[in-house]
Amino acid sequence: MNKDLLTIYNLTRDDIEEIFERADHLKMIREKGRVYQPLKGKILGMIFKKASTRTRISFEVGMYQLGGGAIYLNSSDLQWERGESIADTAKVLSQYLDGILIRTFAHEEVERLAEYADIPVINGLTDLLHPCQILSDIYTIKERLGEIKGVKIAYVGDGNNIANTWLIGAPKMGMDISIASPKGYQPNKEIVEKAILIARDNKSRVEIMKDPFRCVKDADIIYTDVWVSMGKEGEREERWEAFKSFQVNLDLIKRAKDSVLIMHCLPAHRGEEITSEVIDSERSIVFDQTRNRLHVQKGILEILLGGR
């Protein structure tokens, strides 16, 4: 695997299988209550410029469970916020830490940090991508359905970091993906182009549309995310207007396969992008997704920081 994990685009299918294999093993060890500490003495620095519940806690707990430690770095406490360059920050952090997790706005900041850091940099979400989330989501689907090739995922809602990451992750693993988003909120164009090429190689399908009902037809999975991502709070009203017919509710899920599973990266805004009756239904696997964040990320940490 490369030094860093910034995007699923740079991972081979073998890299992803290796992460999943380690996640399976680490999950089994955890469930048996065994202690396994391959990262003893290693410290992960975790820079957050945005809020987080799952990413922060699962990475921090993951590091402790693997025998290492983690330092939460609120970006406003770093000299970076007062003008220290990203390059200098990366060089300094490389002298103290064994890895950096970063959640920020501009994806370019993560790329720049990785370029200048001698240690692994992991993308914990940018405005563009959220690779750790989608890797654990693919793992969750595999765990549930056994096979992922040919599985159809229908993403309904904002063409944001989650949609963009699915566009790379799904075709790479041979899954079909349909995305329905309103005009003006469709996924990143360059990523769509890349996704189409990956799909061509892997004989899968990528569709971008505006009709949520057509999107979920024959879907095995319906996935959604918030209408107002972090940093977009000022657009709340216009977004509500644009997204009101994109809610994942009972009426919509009826149009998919009877066996359809419902996914959401969380946090959810119940009554907005998804109704409570859907997210609390038997079809929902949102808390499996949450649980697997821990195991999959431990797999990533073990590989990147442990030098496997």
Partner interacting with residue 53 (select from ligand NVA, ligand CP, none; CB below 5-8 Å by kind):
ligand CP
Q: Which of 65, 293, 295, 297 is catalytic?
A: 293
CA distance 77 to 74: 6
Cα-Cα end-to-end distance for the chain: 9
Binding of residue 226 to ligand NVA (CB under 6 A): yes
Q: Which of 133, 247, 289, 297 is catalytic?
A: 133
Tell me, yes or no, if 265 is annotated catalytic: yes
CA distance 123 to 140: 20
Dihedral sign for Cα 234, 237, 241, 244, please. positive
Tell me, yes or no, if 215 is annotated catalytic: no
Tell me, yes or no, if 225 is annotated catalytic: yes
Binding of residue 53 to ligand CP (CB under 6 A): yes
Binding mask 238-277 for ligand CP (x = CB under 6 A): ---------------------------xxx----------
Closest separation in Å from C-beta 113 to ligand CP = 19
Binding of residue 290 to ligand NVA (CB under 6 A): no
Binding of residue 295 to ligand CP (CB under 6 A): no
DSSP string of 67-135, one letter each residue:
T-EEEEEEGGGSGGGGT--HHHHHHHHHHH-SEEEEE-S-HHHHHHHHHH-SS-EEE---SS--HHHHH
Partner interacting with residue 161 (select from ligand NVA, ligand CP, none; CB below 5-8 Å by kind):
ligand NVA
Which stretch in 77-85, 111-119, 154-162, 240-248 sits in contact with ligand NVA by CB under 6 A? 154-162
Q: Select from 93, 191, 253, 265 the one that contacts ligand NVA (CB under 6 A).
A: 265
Helix (H) or strand (E) holding 140: helix 131-145
Longest dimension (CA), the chain: 55
CA distance 188 to 302: 31
Residue keyed to tokens 């040919």: 150
Residue keyed to tokens 């990475």: 59
Closest separation in Å from C-beta 130 to ligand NVA = 6
Helix (H) or strand (E) holding 192: helix 189-202
Binding of residue 133 to ligand CP (CB under 6 A): yes
Our measurement of the distance from residue 7's CA atom to the centroid of its chain's CA atoms, rounded to an integer in Å, reads 10
Closest separation in Å from C-beta 175 to ligand CP = 20
Nearer to ligand CP, 240 or 287 (CB): 287
CA distance 139 to 123: 18
Q: Which residues of this protein are in contact with ligand CP, per CB under 6 A?
A: 52-55, 125, 133, 265-267
Q: Which residues of this protein are in contact with ligand NVA, per CB under 6 A?
A: 125, 160-162, 225-226, 229-230, 265
Active-site residue list:
103, 130, 133, 225, 265, 293
